[in-house]
Amino acid sequence: MSQPAQPGEVAAAPDTVRAADIEPTRSTSSLSPPSEKDAQSSEHVAAATILPHLPANVHDQDGILDAQAGAVGATWKHRVPALLMIIFFTLGNNFAQSSLSPLKSTLKKKVPGVNNARYGAIASAEQLVNGVLPLFSGIMIDYYGPSITSLLSSTAILVGSIVRAVGGHRSSFATILAGQIIFGFGSTTIETSQSKLYTHWCRGNQLIDNEPEAEDAQAEPKPETASKKSSKWYTSFSSAGWLGFVYGLDIAMGRVFNVMGKMSSIPVGEATGKWYWSFWLSAILCAVTLVLNAVYVMYERSLPRQMRVVTGRQLAAQEASRSASNSLAASNNNSASSLTKDTPSKESKPYVKPRTLRPFSHRHWKLLTLSLGTIPASFWLITMTQVLQSGAVNAYNANLAEVVELTRGKSKLMAGYASSVGQVPPIVLTPLLGLMFDLFGRRMYYVSGCAALWVLVFVLLVFSDVNAYVPVVLGSVALSFNALPFIASIPLLVPNQASIGTAFGIWKCFNSAGSVTMDVSFGAIQDLTPRGRNQFNNAFAFLIALKSIDVIYGLVYHAIDKKYFGGVLKLNEKQLQRKMHNDDEEARKEALRKPIAKWTAAGCLLLVAFVTTSYVLYITYSIGT
């Protein structure tokens, strides 16, 4: 049986306890009480080291569990219902987004004052809002938890879709634009919340949970039924793996929702005789999503505490509680020392009353923004080098129908049909690719291969006369491989649940700024090129140059992975779980696996520069025209 810790030992304990440092069979400590200077210095490092934490008693369900462990003790019976609900969080969001583009010509006819530039303002309003918002929403997600922020995001999406539908009913450009802006405040935040919840539910801790049982078994043998229980097929889902598959399935379902929105916009308007009824259908689906989100929140609240997501707010409360406990222990220790030495009791330090945890106090602000400073340098390296790559693909998708129409002489209907064909294969291929990551790893190989395939697609589409379906189908395969290697790698580069929301928010900020920059740049280059069949040559030459660089990036990522990233990008899910369990704190801080202030500052400065550039380009080429 473990011996109780002495008061001095409590005072000496730092504000964090690493999971790797805790051994279930040994809870005593030989640390001596710290000096006053050490106690003061520990206050400065407390905020920086509070995130990776574990209570002294790992079986204490009332304590806050390891931020890197995921849903502690959850089985497939807990995970599957949660994941099924989470995957539909973006049903209304994606449907509402995709239902707008087929109505471009209708909006210009039915809504007074809407021209190409004003339609561009409507279509880009959401992206423009999300050039900055995901960073702050990611921090809020880490602090308050993804469940509550997803509920608030769903509410904003519903309100925005209703306002947009009212604007369509009244044929008001300003009201439709206002609805799109309100909608934008929730659209990306719900996706970030969704990503963090996936990471939570798909990151098992069976290896860690089984270790105490194994050690206890040495002292007291367990029945054979306990060992046979872990051999069942569903334990692989309960403990580890499937993260890549779930992310792939999420992307595939998002494409399904997008296809539903695009295919239903015109038929709904024709069936009802009112073109804006597709907006109302979007609002109805957003309301359904909000109800589903509320059901998930109630479901999560019904689970044991160790299965829920650890939030920064809980960490703040824990830090305040520890500070109060340390003050009380130090006071009692000094009192006992003074009595032993027969010194007057007035020399002992008075008891310090614990401070009430005030909302948005200075300590709260430090903890609220701390997740930004705890993101490893490896994440910043990949994010900064990929800033324009997703925008290049978005520019291709946005102009594909027009490219097919002008370079192949197709009608608008046939060009639109050809461009929509490319949305079908990723629905099947993306989950399979995610499963490949889970089983075999080697994620960065796909980055180079995908970039090379994009180069081939661009060359065949613009600089050759092959049938349009050849580059379109190849582009759909490349689209399946485009985003998933990075989305599935972010939880590996940023394994701490207490900062993963901020990481996804930063990634989305860079992508939004890069998309706006590339969309406007592509159009500007096209306008500077003489009209005719070759008017896309210069713009696509720019895209080819970007993707050629990405081929090199993928090879570089793979080459430096083992030395600077800990080799996490090469490993499959089982190997990752073993590595996460075996790595000590020093291994987790090797090379670029730890936060580096210079990398964080460079990433923030680059983000500010690209967001500013995207706003200037948007105003100059869209609103200004």
Asked if the model's pLDDT at residue 239 lies above 50, the reply is no
Q: Count how many Cα atoms sit within 13 Å of the Cα of residue 153 in the half-sphere of its side chain.
A: 30
Nearest of 192, 209, 206, 203 to residue 242 by alpha carbon: 203
Q: Each residue of 457-502: pLDDT tens digit?
A: 999 999 998 988 899 899 989 988 888 999 989 988 998 877 889 9
**In this predicted structure, what is the pLDDT of residue 167?**
94
Kindly indicate the confidence band of residue 57, based on its pLDDT and cuts at 50, 70 and 90. Answer: very low
Q: What is the pLDDT of residues 373-395, one digit of tens each?
A: 889 999 999 999 998 998 899 88
Q: C-alpha 394: how far from its chain's center?
A: 19
Cβ–Cβ < 8 Å for 333, 343: no
Domain residue extents for the chain: 63-210+233-321, 369-625
Question: How would you label 425-435 residue by residue, b for 16+ Cβ within 10 Å and e otherwise?
Answer: bbbebbbebbb
Q: Round to whole Å and give the CA distance between 516 and 537.
A: 20
Question: Across residues 149-168, what is the average pLDDT?
Answer: 95
Does the structure show a pLDDT above 60 at 9?
no
**Dihedral sign of CA atoms 320, 323, 329, 335 in order:** negative
Nearest to 455 by CA among 393, 388, 402: 393
DSSP string, 417-455: HHHHHTTSHHHHHHHHHHHHHHHH--HHHHHHHHHHHHH
pLDDT at residue 521, rounded to an integer? 86
Per-residue DSSP letter, 583: -
- Residue given tokens 């399935």 in the structure block: 249
Residue 23 pairs in a beta bridge with 26
Kindly state the average pLDDT of the residues 614-620.
Answer: 81
The yes-or-no verdict on residue 414 having pLDDT over 80 is no
| Residue-level pLDDT at 593 | 87
% of the chain beyond a pLDDT of 70: 73
Fold match between 63-210+233-321 and 369-625? yes
* Dist. CA 197–CA 432, nearest whole Å: 21
pLDDT band of 336, cuts 50, 70, 90: low
Give, in words, the CATH class of 63-210+233-321: mainly alpha
Q: What letter does residue 221 receive in the DSSP assignment?
A: P
Q: Which of 52-56, 270-274, 449-453 has the highest mean pLDDT?
A: 449-453
pLDDT at 123: 79
User: DSSP label at 463?
Assistant: S
pLDDT of residue 407 exceeding 80, the answer is: yes
DSSP 8-state class, residue 535: T
Mean of pLDDT values over 258-281: 89
Residue 45 pLDDT > 80: no
Confidence of residue 354 (pLDDT cuts 50, 70, 90): very low
Q: What pLDDT, on the 0 to 100 scale, is given for residue 334?
A: 65
| Helix residue spans in 111-145 (DSSP H) | 116-129, 133-144
Mean pLDDT on 63-81: 72
Return the minimum-mean-pLDDT range out of 210-219, 261-270, 373-382, 489-498. Answer: 210-219
Give the angle subtended at the CA of 159 by the CAs of 125 and 248, to the nearest 5°. 70
- Reported as a pLDDT band with limits 50, 70 and 90, residue 372 is confident
Residue 519 has pLDDT above 70, yes or no: yes
Rounded CA separation 601/349 (Å): 42
Residue 412: per-residue pLDDT: 65
Q: What is the pTM of this model?
A: 0.75
Range with the poorest average pLDDT among 94-103, 286-295, 398-407? 398-407
Reply yes or no on domain 369-625 having CATH 3.10.580.10: no
d(CA 597, CA 591): 13
Band of the pLDDT at 7, cuts 50, 70, 90?
very low
Residue 334 vs residue 16, higher pLDDT: 334
pLDDT tens digits, one per residue of 98-123? 888 888 878 888 999 887 778 877 87
Is 211 a residue whose pLDDT tops 60? no
Residue 255 has pLDDT above 90, yes or no: no
State yes or no: pLDDT of 141 exceeds 60. Answer: yes
Q: What is the pLDDT of residue 296?
A: 96
What mean pLDDT is predicted for residues 414-431? 78
| C-beta of residue 261 within 8 angstroms of C-beta of residue 94 | yes
What is the percent of the chain with per-residue pLDDT over 90, rounded to a whole number?
Answer: 34
pLDDT in the model for residue 87: 95
The reported pLDDT for the residue numbered 41 is: 40
pLDDT in tens, 221-233: 444 443 444 444 3
Cβ atoms of 156 and 324 within 8 Å: the answer is no
User: Cβ atoms within 10 A of the Cβ of 127, count?
Assistant: 21
Per-residue pLDDT, 238: 38
> Quick check: 282 and 96 in contact, CB under 8 A?
yes
Question: Cα–Cα distance between 502 and 507 in angstroms, integer?
Answer: 9
Instruction: Identify whether the C-beta of residue 331 lies closer than 8 Å to the C-beta of residue 348.
Output: yes
**pLDDT attached to residue 605:** 94
pLDDT score of 554 more than 70 = yes
Average pLDDT over residues 584-593: 78
pLDDT, residue 310, reads 79
pLDDT given for residue 386 in this prediction: 93
